[in-house]
Amino acid sequence: MSEPIVTTLDRDAVRILTVNRPDKLNALNRQTLETLDQAFAAAATDAAVRVVVLTGAGAKAFVAGADIAEMNRLTPPQGRDFSLLGQRLMQRIERLPKPVVAMVNGYALGGGLELAMACHLRVAAESARLGQPEINLGLIPGFGGTQRLLRLAGRAAALELCLLGSPVTAARAFELGIVNRVVADAELEAQTLQIAEQLARSAPLALRGVLDAVLAGGECALEQGLEFETAQFGLLFATEDMREGTGAFLERRKPRFANR
């Protein structure tokens, strides 16, 4: 029986999704993209899941890119369809109503970096290498790399990574704002899960409000973003979790959020 392309492991309210093609450095072919899309769709609707952690199998790679052997055979229409498939997955992750944390081990190149950037938070091992090397293949990033790099790290960094095609260290990626934290390789899993577990204890509706507000604000003018934030803020006053959170603060105890 063959190994699953994406494995799922639940640790209380944290779901760990692992791209499981270590012999291919977890490269993203069409089947892997479709399987990941299904896995994130399932996580979105599972009430028991409050946080998703995404990583790659093996010590060498988070995801080393798209599957070049598969891409080499594509026609222009097929290439466009492959890009749209990848972008649909990235948008599903970015718009997931629950926090997604990328646990970046080893190489996160091309589609791998695009996958990590679609996640809400990124924790990288010191040995990780991140980049958009598509220029070396006669291509450009096709799963949102030019756009998310621009938004995360700015024009200069986006052009540097996409034009030169050279990977950067995790420390450099942190300096550019591409990753949130860099930790020792041996501490990567523990540190990432600590963040995920903290998120899982937070109020789910408030987490979703933050995700929605930041996503919306990044695509509109400041005034419109502020209006959206105010609307979200007001809606949370109708939740039991808001009463529990404020009540627990006043009573000097830890809150018990129920996602209501």
Q: How many residues does the chain have?
A: 260
Task: Give the burial class of 59: count Cβ atoms within 10 A of its Cβ; 0-12 exposed, 13-18 middle, 19 or more buried.
Answer: exposed
Structure tokens at 164: 């030169």
Catalytic residues: 114, 134
Three-state secondary structure call for residue 8: strand
Sheet holding 51-56, edge to edge: 6-11, 14-19, 51-56, 100-104, 121-125, 181-183
> CA angle 147-149-150, nearest 5°?
65
Rg over CA atoms, the chain:
19
Closest to 239 in 3D by CA, of 259, 225, 218, 216 = 259
Question: Residue 188 and residue 182: Cα distance in Å, rounded?
Answer: 8
> CA angle 152-224-114, nearest 5°?
20
For the chain, report the end-to-end CA distance as a whole number of angstroms. Answer: 42
Question: Residue 249 and residue 49: Cα distance in Å, rounded?
Answer: 25
Question: Phi/psi at 121 (nearest 5 deg)?
Answer: -135, 150
